[in-house]
Amino acid sequence: MSQASANLSPDAAVHDAATRALIEAGDPAADGRALRRCLGQFPTGVTVVTARNGERLVGMAVNSFAAVSLAPPLVLWSIRRESSSAADFLQAGHYAVSVLADDQVALSQLFGSAHPKRFELAPWQAGRHGAPLLAGAIAHLECRLEQVHEGGDHLILVGHVERYARYEGTPLLFTQGAYGVAQELPAPATSQPAAGASAGQSESELLRDLIHASQRLSHDFESHRQALGLTLPTSRLLNSLAEGAGSAEELARATLLEQDEITDGVAALAQQALVSTDKDRLRLTPAGRERRAAIAARADDYMKQRLGGLVESDIAAFQRVLQALGRD
């Protein structure tokens, strides 16, 4: 979700496509995780799908949600057959979809886990059939379960939309194993220059720009990570371990990574002998500390290069903004 190339000419697009490096390819049966990474190239939104089955509430983060038909109004999503809530969703006969906004990553993580107090921690209101509608979502769709299709290790639940509501806000996105925000393509070269644009910007627009800039920087920094045999998850893990986080729980909190990414990332670091385990706690090996120092030095140089043109008063203003945003 970094900013797309400003050059929108067809020639440039063809050229980019021709020079894109292959990362991996193969038989899905041989490596399911690689297939998952490939599917992750397709970006989705994030929803929380909920239902009430008698006295029981069920809800889970879902990114397989899709629109199917306008007339009749149909949507679908798929649930892992092994999911502990699959039977409840089938029996409930109705489900509700809350489309998450870009400030609801924490909710996605809460409902992406098996947390027993999900519905006590998240504010919601009951829909017409009792399924929770999460507060702060940018859309609610209340559906009657109409068809269930076999889908390999998943079941596909087609719902007839009985009621919808759309709210202001922008969606949370999920792609390449990470959360992101949508960003419009820059206007073609004929558009007005950006000069003075910040004058009329609201705080929330500035904040969104700051988030976009941070995502763009992280994306541009990828070649440095690759040069050191790291990925975004493994370098985040190295950083957190250098700060002292050690248990799986602490790492999840400090890195905001999904459990899978932590498992894969830790395995990749262990394979390179950058971490060792001691009584369920991970720690950096001397080689790990060296690698962390190397990536930190590169990040330092990179940021100096990007921010080199700023005068002291700009940096001071930037620090005040970070403080207002709650940096430690």
53, 98, 104, 108: which one binds ligand FMN (CB under 6 A) = 108
Q: Please, how many CA atoms are within 13 Å of residue 14, restricted to the half-sphere of its CB?
A: 3
Do the strands 56-62 and 94-99 form a parallel or antiparallel pair, or are they unpaired? Answer: unpaired
64 makes contact with ligand FMN (CB under 6 A): yes
Task: Using alpha carbons, select from 3, 130, 109 the residue that is nearest to residue 60.
Answer: 109
Is 80 an interacting residue with respect to ligand FMN (CB under 6 A)? yes
CB 111 to ligand FMN: min, Å? 6
96 binds ligand FMN (CB under 6 A): no
Told to check if 78 binds ligand FMN by CB under 6 A, we report yes
- CA of residue 248 relative to chain centroid, distance: 19
Dihedral sign from CA coordinates of 83, 88, 94, 97: negative
- Give burial (CB, 10 Å; 0-12/13-18/19+) of 137: buried
Question: Any contact of residue 235 with ligand FMN (CB under 6 A)?
Answer: no
Q: Which of 1, 61, 76, 92 binds ligand FMN (CB under 6 A)?
A: 61
Give least dist CB 185 to ligand FMN, A: 24
Closest Cα to residue 324, out of 197, 208, 203?
203
How many residues of this chain interact with ligand FMN, rule: CB under 6 A? 18
Which one-letter DSSP state was computed for residue 25? -
Our finding on whether 216 is near ligand FMN (CB under 6 A) is no
Q: How far is the CB of 61 from ligand FMN (least distance, A)?
A: 4
Question: Residue 82 or 312: which CB sits closer to ligand FMN?
Answer: 82
The burial class, CB within 10 Å (0-12 / 13-18 / 19+), for 209 is middle
Pick from 12, 39, 87, 114: which binds ligand FMN (CB under 6 A)?
114
| Single-letter amino acid, residue 303 | M
Minimum Å gap between C-beta 154 and ligand FMN is 6
Which of 1, 51, 57, 62 forms a contact with ligand FMN (CB under 6 A)? Answer: 62
Contact residues for ligand FMN (CB under 6 A)? 46, 60-64, 77-80, 83-85, 108, 111-112, 114, 174
